[in-house]
Amino acid sequence: MPWDYLRFQKLERGMQEITHRWCRTTLQRTERLYLESREWDAFGHCWIACEGTRVCGEYTTGMAGSFRELIREAGFGGRHDSLSQDLRNQALGRELSNFAGRPSMLCDRAYRQRRFDLTAPLTRTRFSLARGIHTV
């Protein structure tokens, strides 16, 4: 099991770039000016849970994701205002791992079908093509 968690940690390193790529593609496709932080956060949670379940198994991925969110909720690792949203989007990603296709494609489809939990509060952080992640 510890080796599964180490593999999961390696996936986390690529999650940010994959999420940024999804943001750029989504903005180009929709012609929107920006995405709210809760949108790309939901995608990242979905993606890591989907890919993690395929690579490390559902148990390791579920435990790692839940543990990380609970630690953040306890005040370690910065401000956290989206525990239930994060856990639900991770559960969606683990569910999607059972279907054929790349995790990024499966999670993008879930976004387009409005399956993400986007109930986290709006923040002043956005992603735009011109500025990437920025605060307004």
pLDDT tens sequence across 60-89? 899 988 988 888 888 887 777 789 999 999
Residue 46: inside a domain, yes or no? yes
Q: Which residues contact 96 (CB under 8 A, 6 or more apart)?
A: 46, 50, 103, 106, 107, 110
Single-letter amino acid code for the residue at 51: E
- What domain count does the chain have? 1
pLDDT, tens digit, 9 for 90 and up, residues 4-21: 667 777 888 889 999 999
Residue 124: inside a domain, yes or no? no
Residue 83: inside a domain, yes or no? yes
DSSP secondary structure code for residue 106 in this structure: H
Residue 129: inside a domain, yes or no? no
User: pTM value?
Assistant: 0.92
Domain span at 13 = 2-117
- Other C-beta atoms closer than 10 Å to the C-beta of 7 total 14
Residue 135: inside a domain, yes or no? no
